[in-house]
Structure 1
Amino acid sequence: MQAKIYLDVQFLTEWVLNLCVVLLTARIVGTGVRFARAALAAAAGALAHVALLAAGVLSGWHFCGGAMPVLGWLLIPVMTGIAFPGKRGRHRSLADRLQLGITFAAAAFLLSGLLQALHPFWQRMFFRFWLAVFAAYAVLQAGCKLFAAAKHRQMDLCPVRLYIGDTQWRVMALRDTGNRLQDPWLHRPVSILEEGALPFSVEELLGKSLAETLKFHMIPYSSVGCPSGVLTGLVFTRMVIEGTDGEQVIQAPVIGISRGTVSTEKAYQMILHEKFRQ
């Protein structure tokens, strides 16, 4: 008796599983991912899996079984590189790549474990397999959301909407009692935003017609890790802090742009001035 393998079905199955793992990785790490890139990364992994499977069939399965785990580990940097490239052409650091790879492997392990646990419910009917896949994905997504919510409560995070002219975007901010930075020229409180959270680069921003209204200037500062530094200061149109007691609207806030990340764990992209604590 010979078993039949349908490569198109195998490809679709692997693609869905890989897509779930990529999206889970983005959720756990707390970074955004474009669906097109996630789908492309999932397709690359599925194509490599199917190619090795086809080669194994043609060669009589002499090497396929042992090569599958090796291929899986080799595909991790490839798939994470496709799904999570550096911003604006910048390459991610080795530490970032390592974190993404470990998180990707952990997400794949968790998803496969849940599928094994749900195996008795879908082993007799094919459509139940897809139900099990999405059920496992939903369970892990719910767990990630609960973990993120608990973490945000512990770190006192809140969503903030930022406006520059007609451009609006949303970031996560830390309410920090330690940020007492004042603009020496405008004599107003300064909140700090990492450059990566801008919808465009500082250079592009200064080249726009909005440059005059943004009142570009430099803000000196000092901190524990940097005794003397300078931030790029911009005056945004407005900032809306979303709190449990309602929204706090700040017109023409002064924002200091940080070249690096403001959170080592990437849990937030902005540090509010202590004056804006509700």
Structure 2
Amino acid sequence: MPLYKVYLDQVFLGNLVMNYAILWTAAKLSRAPVHTMRLIAGAALGAAYALAVFIPGAGFLQSVWFKTVISAGIVAVAFSPVTVRMFLICLGSFFLASFTLGGLAIGIIFYLNSSRMSSWEGIGKVIEGNFWPGILLGLTALWAAGRGFAALLKKGRFENLFRIPILINSGGKQVRVEALLDTGNQLKDPMTQNPVVVVEYNSLKPLLPEEVQAGLERDGEADIWSILSSLSESIHISRFSAVPFQSLGRSNGMMLGFRPDELVIERQGKLTSPGRVVVGIYRNKLDPEGSYQALLGPNVLELTG
């Protein structure tokens, strides 16, 4: 039986680099917030597991169930705290990125080999000889593919897959906006637990009372509690609430929630209503190019059946 010399530092470093790239890719695919130190911690856990498989008599570490548990642990370290649904999306994205990058690296390693292989020993030597070139070229290919996909998205090539028109009705008035289907938007109104659709203020302005418009158009950061206080004796007070969020470019934020009479989604030429939803009012532009004005989470689409 052939013997192989394994350098554990190379195994750890190689897996650390690969795991970080996989987690970063998973974050982009799932639209989860990226925290560099958390990604490094998750990557380090995966790299430590790669070393653990060399422990004598620890064959159970290579079982499917244990690999699944470790994968879930890596994702939890990298992305928690998130909702169960978002965790599953991150986990699925992690597996997709893992298989893609792993396949790229292995394919490139054997593509670089020009000699004939006739045994497992020969395969081992090929992997050992082309390990780092395979990883680096695999990472480069994954980065290039990601950039290309992002460029196609920016040009609107997949617009019909991710853009959904929505109509918002309130007080006899209606506005129409283009919403981006955003898997990272899992916001809920803390009072009603209804899902939140984030919409730009400028698009919603015709539906909002003057007190709200005045509060949101003041210089500096909007004081949500002051706006709610100004509505204390208004018939509109029941329509508004404070909605905490940890995305949209900041953490521990607060936006004004608005409950319209109805929100209608246009899908495949049909109009459907998800029922009770809350509209989160976002003061700035969601897209610098203005191609969409709202963020629609998959939890809202589920309510339409």
TM over 0.5: yes
Question: Aligned equivalents of 2:257 and 2:30: distance in 1?
Answer: 32
The DSSP-based 3-state class of the residue aligned with 2:298 is coil
What are the within-5 Å matches in structure 2 for residues 7-86 of structure 1?
A: 7-53=8-54, 55-56=55-56, 59=57, 64=59, 67=62, 69-86=64-81
SS at match of 1:2: coil
Note if contact 2:27-2:33 (Cα within 8 Å) is conserved in structure 1. yes
Q: Please give the alpha-carbon distance, in whole angstroms, between the structure 2 residues aligned to 1:82 and 1:35.
A: 12
Query: Is the 1:27–1:144 contact (alpha carbons within 8 Å) kept by the matching residues of 2?
Result: no
Go from structure 1 to structure 2 and tell me whether the alpha carbon gap of 1:66 and 1:231 turns closer, same or farther (over 3 Å shift).
closer
Distance 1:185 1:218 in 2: 16
Aligned CA distance change for structure 1 residues 221 and 129 (closer, same or farther; 3 Å): same
SS at structure 1 position matched to 2:288: strand
**Once the 2 structures are TM-superposed, how far is the Cα of residue 194 of structure 1 from its aligned partner?**
8.2
Match of 2:289 in 1: 243
- Taking the aligned partners of 2:150 and 2:208, their CA distance within structure 1 comes to 33
2:85 is aligned with 1:95? yes
> What is the distance in 2 between the residues matched to 1:26 and 1:46?
19
SS of 2:210 mapped into structure 1: coil
SS of structure 2 residue aligned to 1:3: coil
Match of 1:107 among 89, 93, 97: 97
RMSD of the TM alignment (CA)? 4.3
1:174/1:243 CA distance change after superposition, 3 Å: farther
Partner in structure 1 of residue 252 of structure 2: 201
Query: Taking structure 1 as the reference length, what is the TM-score of the superposition?
Result: 0.59
Tell me how far 1:197 sits from its aligned partner.
2.5
TM-score (norm 2): 0.54
Unaligned runs of at least 5 residues, structure 2: 114-124, 164-177, 181-197, 217-242, 264-272, 300-305
Contact 2:52 2:61 in 1 (8 A): no
Identity over aligned pairs, percent: 17
Which 5+ residue runs of structure 1 have no aligned equivalent?
87-91, 159-172, 206-216, 246-254, 266-278
What one-letter code is carried by the residue in structure 2 that aligns with 1:49? A
- Report the Cα distance in structure 1 between the residues aligned to 2:258 and 2:83, rounded to whole angstroms: 28
Match of residue 260, structure 2, among 212, 216, 221: 221
Counterpart of 2:144 (choices 137, 142, 145) is 142
Question: 1:165 corresponds to which residue?
Answer: none
**Is the 2:245–2:252 contact (alpha carbons within 8 Å) kept by the matching residues of 1?**
yes
Aligned AA (2:43): A
Show the 5 A alignment for 1:126-205: 128-152=130-154, 153=156, 154=159, 155=163, 182-186=207-211, 195-198=245-248, 199-202=250-253
Report the Cα offset of residue 6 of structure 1: 2.2
Which has the larger Rg? 2
Distance in 2, matches of 1:124 and 1:179, equals 61
- CA shift, 1:81, in A, is 0.4
1:216-248 deviations in Å (ceiling 9; x for gaps): x77442323345x666768x5x65962389xxx
CA contact (8 A) 1:49 1:68 kept: no
Tell me the secondary structure at the aligned position of residue 197 of structure 1.
Answer: coil
2:188 equivalent in structure 1: none
Q: 2:108 aligns with which of 118, 129, 140?
A: 118
Structure 1 residues 57-97: Cα deviation after superposition (integer angstroms, max 9, x where no partner): xx4xxx638825443222111000011112xxxxx222222
Residues 76 and 202 (structure 1 numbering): CA distance in 2 closer, same or farther, change over 3 Å?
same
1:129 deviates by 2.6
**How many aligned residue pairs are there?**
210
Cα deviation 1:120-152 (Å, max 9, x = unaligned): 326659685323212212222332333344345
Find the residue that maps to 2:6 and give its secondary structure. Answer: coil
Label 1:239 to 1:46 Cα distance change in 2 as closer, same or farther (>3 A).
Answer: closer
